Chain A
């Protein structure tokens, strides 16, 4: 990984060399002797921070934490091995897991340095302190790298979640678009149907006019039949009853035709308001469709960003 290369390069900047490890190893006895006191000192200093004991509580026993610090300190005299680096990384991961910030982790290193400075008179070798300081910087480098790794890992987890959510939302918005398009299509059908109903009603209106016409003719026929019957005198009496009935029927037909026409006027009014409502809905649906498309487009963009975040290379697979 890039980070390994970067650390390797930065190690050159720090200027730590094999000789430094040798000098520190020569003072193994110093580190062993002070290990317990150092961890007490560390714990005491850190306990001043309000959240410190809260963070440890239920996660790691105080003694186990102190044990870690002691080992961390003693290892300063240890060889420059992968194992040693692994120890630092483990400590970094523990800090991260416990919820300590990177700034906290770096400040914690200074506690070790302060302790050593206080006891520096026990050591005569003038090269000891620079070697100690350089190894501490190396540890600081490893700690910060561990934190960066953790943060990147977390970003990836979050990005993956965002990718999954946006994929899901994209599906929903696609479904939404399809549904909206179907609604728009059905509305067109309904609009066509309502126009057909209007045509049918107009046609029925014509038929009602024909019925009225026939009623008028029947009425006239009835009147003339009644005249004929009256002129025929007694002999036409039976026929006059028929003529009267005929006129009554004609009158009734006329009334019905009139009612039909009145009802058709009502039907026409309702169809018109229905069509207007449907057209209004159609307009709203069109806006809705446009919004849904914008929505979908925004999701595509969001998805790309999420994929970029997840893969870190801008390729959205």
Chain B
């Protein structure tokens, strides 16, 4: 299977490519009153309106200001803010191990956490 690997805070996460349409640079975000805490607002992605969630809030990672490396992962019409997009990698299905409620993959020195992007 192929996964998109990205960084949020100090940790690396992976999401299957099937769940991701594209990776984008940060877009101007318009806040929406009354939305959930992790929803930053809406943005215009090439003519389509998408909701933008802050994956850092979802994953309880301390938020940093956006940098030139900040990216939006586009999945099911939603945008997810990550700190850096790293790689598209191949991995065996049985490479994933269950640790508590999480699935992790030991990729070389790096521990990668499975993320469905369902939030």
Q: Which residues of A contact B (CB under 8 A)?
A: 216, 220, 223-224, 226-227, 230-231, 243
Contact = CB atoms under 8 A, between A and B. Distances in A.
A243 B87 CA distance: 11
Nearest to B23: A223
Interface stretch (B14-22, B39-47, B92-100, B107-115): B14-22
15 contacts: A216-B68, A220-B23, A220-B24, A220-B25, A223-B23, A223-B85, A223-B88, A224-B22, A224-B23, A226-B2, A226-B17, A227-B4, A227-B23, A230-B18, A231-B18
A227 B25 contact: no
Contacts of B25: 220
A231 B20 CA distance: 9
A243 B23 CA distance: 14
Interface residues of B, number: 15
Nearest to A226: B88
Interface of B: 2, 4, 17-18, 20-25, 68, 71, 85, 87-88
A216 B21 CA distance: 19
Contacts of A231: 17-18
Contacts of B24: 220
B69 to A, nearest CB: 8
A224 B4 CA distance: 10
A223 B2 CA distance: 12
A230 B24 CA distance: 17
Given A220-B23, A224-B23, A230 B85 contact: no
A230 B2 contact: yes
Contacts of B4: 223, 227
A203 B4 CA distance: 37
A22 B2 CA distance: 149
A227 B85 CA distance: 12
B109 to A, nearest CB: 19
